[in-house]
Amino acid sequence: MTSDPGTHDTHTAPAARPAPLVVTADPALRDELQRLAAAAGVTPDLAADPGHALRSWTRAPVVLVGGDLAHALADLGPDRRDGVHVITWGATDTSLFRAGLALGAENVAELPRSEGWVVETLTDLGEAARPRGLVIGVVGGSGGAGATTLACALGQSAARTGDTVVVDTDPLGPGLDRVLGLDRHDGFRWDALCQTTGRLSARALRQALPRRDRLGVLTWYAGSTATLQAFAVREALSAARRGHETVVVDLPRTPDPLVDEVASRCDVLLVATVATVAGVASAARVCARHDAHRGLALVLRGGPLLDHEVARATGKPVLGAVPHQRALAEAIDLGLGPVRNHRGPLGRACADLLVRIAVPVPPAGRAA
């Protein structure tokens, strides 16, 4: 979580990332995992005995433990860590699951049916060189504030410089693919993702979504009655962050524990607000709901109130303002998205907001 909007936590990966660790004494399983690693473009470190495995246990980004050594390795009590998976041939038995629990493994995968999953998991290691993606949440502080329009416009602006995805978490909204003109593009929607289980690859998600150039969208099919599933949302956000420079999440105003969880996972949470007395009063309630979020700020759309007046009334800083965009409905109807021209008022305002997110915002009560 960021301390202020704009303190985006990025880092540069080292030039030589440690290799994944494969722990097995089974020649057939070892050869198969090496083949899958080659398909993913990585070269694993091989350990044919538990003692050797312990030397690389904490350093490896991912550990694949063969079912033949899972019990022996569990008996050594290695340190608990993320990214441990038990891999076995064919059906598993309850004792192997117990060994997996002792190792703190995330799952027990069976070959050959889990080949694709193993390749995707190892392929994601190649995504590690990417900076950690910035997640921007957008929620309406008042009716008519244009939160969905702002989310889509920010996505269009961010996509000019890097891979971007706009995530729709409002099943009662218009559908962000229609707002962005991607409704006729093939790709996965929430309907499909909510029916899957297991880890979601960053590259697989990026390639599966409806996309135009560097901008993708995750939303629902038209007329869908599907609802968000917590496991699917967590996996999708994690994969989106690993596979994109920017993730913009359109959040509904309706109180919901899952929506609140998604908001808490955002680096920056923007509350779109009409700068009127009624609009700011409503926004103050939304800000109070997310008061613990340290990256919360307001974005104003029209109205007579000044930035410092809104900041004082809500107790939160104002990041900027979004002007009225002429022919907005026409641009969306034509499939161009809200930003018809990046040199227009909306395009310039969104570009300015993205720049401001990269620097600290003044405390509440002072002009932004």
What does the domain layout of the chain look like in residue ranges?
A: 21-128, 131-357
pLDDT tens-digit map of 46-93:
999 999 999 999 999 899 999 999 999 999 999 988 889 999 987 778
We find that the CATH architecture of domain 21-128 is: 3-Layer(aba) Sandwich (3.40)
Is residue 122 within 8 A of residue 36, CB to CB? The reply is yes
The rounded distance, in Å, linking the Cα atoms of 276 and 29 is 66
Tokens of 143: 């009716």
pLDDT tens-digit map of 182-229:
989 989 888 887 766 666 778 778 888 999 999 999 998 887 777 888
Confidence of residue 116 (pLDDT cuts 50, 70, 90): confident
Report residue 168 CA to chain centroid gap. Answer: 12
Is residue 135 within 8 A of residue 219, CB to CB? The reply is no
* Phi, psi (deg, nearest 5) at residue 122: -75, -35
Q: What is the mean pLDDT of residues 157-164?
A: 94
Higher-confidence residue of 202 and 366: namely: 202
Q: What is the pTM of this model?
A: 0.69
Is residue 20 within 8 A of residue 61, CB to CB? The reply is yes
pLDDT tens-digit map of 270-305:
999 999 999 999 999 999 999 999 899 999 998 899
Amino acid occupying residue 1: M
| Nearest to 61, CA basis, from 135, 129, 132, 134 | 129
Name residues whose C-beta falls within 8 Å of residue 116's C-beta, 6 or more positions apart in sequence. Answer: none
The rounded distance, in Å, linking the Cα atoms of 48 and 177 is 49
Is residue 7 within 8 A of residue 266, CB to CB? The reply is no
* CATH class of segment(s) 131-357: alpha beta
Report residue 57 CA to chain centroid gap. Answer: 27
